Protein backbone atom coordinates (compact mmCIF):
# COMPACT_ATOMS: atom_id res chain seq x y z
CA UNK A 1 0.00 0.00 0.00
CA UNK A 2 1.32 3.42 -0.96
CA UNK A 3 0.97 6.68 0.88
CA UNK A 4 -1.98 7.71 -1.33
CA UNK A 5 -4.20 4.85 -0.22
CA UNK A 6 -5.71 1.62 -1.41
CA UNK A 7 -8.10 3.29 -3.88
CA UNK A 8 -5.26 4.97 -5.76
CA UNK A 9 -3.27 1.69 -5.79
CA UNK A 10 -6.18 -0.27 -7.24
CA UNK A 11 -6.79 2.49 -9.82
CA UNK A 12 -3.13 2.40 -10.89
CA UNK A 13 -3.22 -1.40 -11.06
CA UNK A 14 -6.38 -1.31 -13.20
CA UNK A 15 -4.82 1.29 -15.53
CA UNK A 16 -1.71 -0.91 -15.72
CA UNK A 17 -3.87 -3.91 -16.61
CA UNK A 18 -5.74 -1.94 -19.27
CA UNK A 19 -2.49 -0.70 -20.85
CA UNK A 20 -1.14 -4.27 -20.79
CA UNK A 21 -4.25 -5.51 -22.61
CA UNK A 22 -4.01 -2.69 -25.16
CA UNK A 23 -0.29 -3.31 -25.74
CA UNK A 24 -0.95 -7.05 -26.13
CA UNK A 25 -3.73 -6.38 -28.66
CA UNK A 26 -1.46 -4.00 -30.59
CA UNK A 27 1.39 -6.52 -30.60
CA UNK A 28 -1.00 -9.23 -31.87
CA UNK A 29 -2.14 -6.93 -34.68
CA UNK A 30 1.45 -6.02 -35.58
CA UNK A 31 2.51 -9.68 -35.57
CA UNK A 32 -0.50 -10.61 -37.72
CA UNK A 33 0.30 -7.90 -40.26
CA UNK A 34 3.98 -8.84 -40.36
CA UNK A 35 3.08 -12.52 -40.87
CA UNK A 36 0.76 -11.53 -43.75
CA UNK A 37 3.55 -9.49 -45.32
CA UNK A 38 5.92 -12.43 -44.91
CA UNK A 39 3.35 -14.80 -46.44
CA UNK A 40 2.80 -12.48 -49.41
CA UNK A 41 6.56 -12.19 -49.99
CA UNK A 42 6.82 -15.98 -49.80
CA UNK A 43 4.12 -16.40 -52.47
CA UNK A 44 5.80 -13.76 -54.63
CA UNK A 45 9.08 -15.69 -54.37
CA UNK A 46 7.31 -18.91 -55.37
CA UNK A 47 5.69 -17.15 -58.35
CA UNK A 48 9.10 -15.76 -59.33
CA UNK A 49 10.61 -19.27 -59.24
CA UNK A 50 7.73 -20.65 -61.32
CA UNK A 51 8.07 -17.77 -63.79
CA UNK A 52 11.81 -18.38 -64.12
CA UNK A 53 11.29 -22.12 -64.60
CA UNK A 54 8.64 -21.54 -67.26
CA UNK A 55 10.91 -18.99 -68.93
CA UNK A 56 13.67 -21.60 -69.17
CA UNK A 57 11.25 -24.21 -70.53
CA UNK A 58 9.88 -21.77 -73.14
CA UNK A 59 13.41 -20.74 -74.08
CA UNK A 60 14.30 -24.39 -74.64
CA UNK A 61 11.16 -24.93 -76.72
CA UNK A 62 11.70 -21.84 -78.89
CA UNK A 63 15.37 -22.50 -79.67
CA UNK A 64 15.46 -25.50 -82.02
CA UNK A 65 19.16 -26.20 -81.47
CA UNK A 66 18.78 -26.21 -77.72
CA UNK A 67 15.61 -28.32 -77.93
CA UNK A 68 17.23 -30.91 -80.17
CA UNK A 69 20.32 -31.01 -77.96
CA UNK A 70 18.11 -31.74 -74.94
CA UNK A 71 16.41 -34.54 -76.86
CA UNK A 72 19.77 -35.96 -77.96
CA UNK A 73 21.28 -35.73 -74.47
CA UNK A 74 18.15 -37.29 -72.98
CA UNK A 75 18.30 -40.14 -75.47
CA UNK A 76 21.94 -40.86 -74.69
CA UNK A 77 21.32 -40.84 -70.95
CA UNK A 78 18.25 -43.03 -71.30
CA UNK A 79 20.02 -45.53 -73.55
CA UNK A 80 23.17 -45.65 -71.42
CA UNK A 81 21.20 -46.40 -68.26
CA UNK A 82 18.93 -49.00 -69.87
CA UNK A 83 21.39 -50.83 -72.13
CA UNK A 84 23.86 -53.58 -71.26
CA UNK A 85 25.41 -54.19 -74.69
CA UNK A 86 26.13 -52.12 -77.79
CA UNK A 87 23.25 -53.76 -79.63
CA UNK A 88 20.92 -53.00 -76.72
CA UNK A 89 22.19 -49.41 -76.75
CA UNK A 90 21.00 -48.95 -80.33
CA UNK A 91 17.69 -50.61 -79.54
CA UNK A 92 17.12 -48.33 -76.54
CA UNK A 93 18.00 -45.27 -78.65
CA UNK A 94 15.34 -46.35 -81.14
CA UNK A 95 12.81 -46.90 -78.37
CA UNK A 96 13.54 -43.44 -76.95
CA UNK A 97 13.27 -41.68 -80.30
CA UNK A 98 10.04 -43.57 -81.05
CA UNK A 99 8.59 -42.37 -77.74
CA UNK A 100 9.79 -38.79 -78.32
CA UNK A 101 8.38 -38.77 -81.85
CA UNK A 102 4.99 -40.03 -80.70
CA UNK A 103 4.88 -37.56 -77.83
CA UNK A 104 5.90 -34.59 -79.97
CA UNK A 105 3.26 -35.47 -82.57
CA UNK A 106 0.59 -35.70 -79.84
CA UNK A 107 1.68 -32.36 -78.37
CA UNK A 108 1.68 -30.67 -81.77
CA UNK A 109 -1.77 -32.04 -82.61
CA UNK A 110 -3.06 -30.77 -79.25
CA UNK A 111 -1.53 -27.33 -79.87
CA UNK A 112 -3.07 -27.26 -83.35
CA UNK A 113 -6.45 -28.20 -81.85
CA UNK A 114 -6.19 -25.44 -79.22
CA UNK A 115 -5.13 -22.79 -81.75
CA UNK A 116 -7.87 -23.77 -84.18
CA UNK A 117 -10.51 -23.67 -81.42
CA UNK A 118 -9.20 -20.28 -80.29
CA UNK A 119 -9.34 -18.90 -83.84
CA UNK A 120 -12.84 -20.34 -84.38
CA UNK A 121 -13.95 -18.82 -81.06
CA UNK A 122 -12.59 -15.39 -82.03
CA UNK A 123 -14.24 -15.60 -85.44
CA UNK A 124 -17.57 -16.62 -83.88
CA UNK A 125 -17.35 -13.70 -81.44
CA UNK A 126 -16.90 -11.24 -84.30
Identify the three-state secondary structure at position 63. Answer: coil
Read off the pTM.
Answer: 0.48
Other CB atoms within 10 Å distance of the CB of residue 51: 10
Domain hosting 27: range is 1-62
Residues 68, 125 within the same domain: yes
Residues 19, 47 within the same domain: yes
Residues 68, 43 within the same domain: no
Residues 7, 49 within the same domain: yes
Angle in degrees, 0-180, between the axes of helices 86-125 and 64-82, rounded to the nearest 10: 140
Q: Could you report how far apart the first and last alpha carbons of the chain are, in Å?
A: 87
* Tens-digit pLDDT profile for residues 55-102: 888 888 788 888 888 888 888 888 888 888 888 888 988 889 899 889
Residue 111 has a pLDDT of 86
| Higher per-residue pLDDT: 93 or 8 | 93
Question: Distance from CA of residue 5 to its chain's centroid?
Answer: 65
Amino acid sequence: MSLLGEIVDSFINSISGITDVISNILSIIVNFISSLVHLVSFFIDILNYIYTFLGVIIEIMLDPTLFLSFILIGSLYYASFKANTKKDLLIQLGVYFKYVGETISKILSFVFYLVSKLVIGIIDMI
